[in-house]
Amino acid sequence: MADALISIMDDAAVRTVTVNRPDKLNALNRATLEALDTAFSAAAADPAVRVVVLTGAGPRAFVAGADIAEMNGLSAVQGRDFSLLGQRLMRRIERMPKPVIGKINGFALGGGLELAMACHLRVASETAKVGQPEINLGLMPGFGGSQRLLRLCGRAAALELCLLGTPITAARAAQLGIVTEVVPAAELDARVQALASQLASAAPLALRGILDAIHIGGECPLGEGLEYESVQFGLMFATEDMREGTSAFLARRPPVFQNR
């Protein structure tokens, strides 16, 4: 399925969502944010989808940022609304009940880096560059960049990227924990496909429990996070997939998980 702003392709249990504005380096305007929000809502609800890959069209950019031409005419109230729209999308991706892999095939700047950081795993081409250059426009991050950078790589790196606005290489982004892995450009598709296939064959209910425990636990005191983990761990014992996984291990055979 495709429209003017995004394209969607399914391959078995893996759904690839592509921002499809290569002539604009896949910049995020309001309509694109809304289309992505709808796409991720649909992927979350579709039982046939176990993993989502998010990327950008064309050879140059994952997403080069928010659409500056659209932002230029916004009032203060409209700017806040635009920020909230972007944050809603990033939150939806971050709290997806299925793993989301960001395939960073080029520039991931401003809103593009914020979009990438909302993904659970981020694999970047070694030629990619990432950054929060909003300061050069008289702006600051508005889609969650200041907060996710702080949590991913700490105060010093978050201040560096946001205050200086200078893009960094994929290799440095990996050192800081902003991306999960860096691979040669020619190997990006194959590496992401391998990760997506691995996740698609894993136990979906356990994946969801892990995602919930890490995200909810990361937003509350340690004691509450540990309690939530114990509850989720216990619930796994009521699933057929847990019986299948442990039985397969004991029988020395590959498990076949059924999402129940």
Q: What is the value of pTM for the model shown?
A: 0.93
Q: Residue 216: which of 91, 42, 102 has the closest Cα?
A: 91
Radius of gyration of the chain measured on its C-alpha atoms:
19
Q: What is the DSSP pairing of strand 6-11 with strand 14-19?
A: antiparallel
Mark whether 224 is an active-site residue. no
Q: Give dist(CA 113, CA 161) in Å, integer.
A: 11
pLDDT in tens, 53-83: 999 999 899 999 888 989 998 999 999 999 9
SS3 of residue 228 by DSSP: helix
Residues 240 and 149 in one domain: no
CA atoms of 179 and 130, how far apart (whole Å): 9
**CA separation for the pair 183, 172 (Å, rounded):** 13
- Tens of pLDDT, residue by residue over 98-121, are 999 999 999 999 999 999 999 999
Percent of the chain at pLDDT > 90 equals 88
CATH code assigned at 227: 1.10.12
For residue 215, being part of any structural domain is answered with yes
Number of domains in the chain: 2
pLDDT value at position 260? 85
Q: Identify whether residues 46 and 145 lie together within a single domain.
A: yes
Q: Which two tokens stand for residue 232?
A: 């989720």
**Residue 111: what pLDDT?**
95
Question: What sign results for the dihedral spanned by CA atoms 57, 4, 142, 165?
Answer: positive
Indicate which residue of 34, 94, 126, 134 is catalytic: 134
Q: Which member of 34, 70, 94, 114 is catalytic?
A: 114
Look up 114 and say whether it is catalytic: yes
pLDDT of residue 3: 53
In a shared domain, residues 136 and 228: no
One-letter amino acid for residue 153 of the chain: C
- State percent of the chain over pLDDT 70: 99
Asked if 115 and 141 sit in the same domain, the reply is yes
> Which residue, 164, 182, 200, sits at the end of a domain?
200
Q: What is the mean pLDDT of residues 135-155?
A: 95
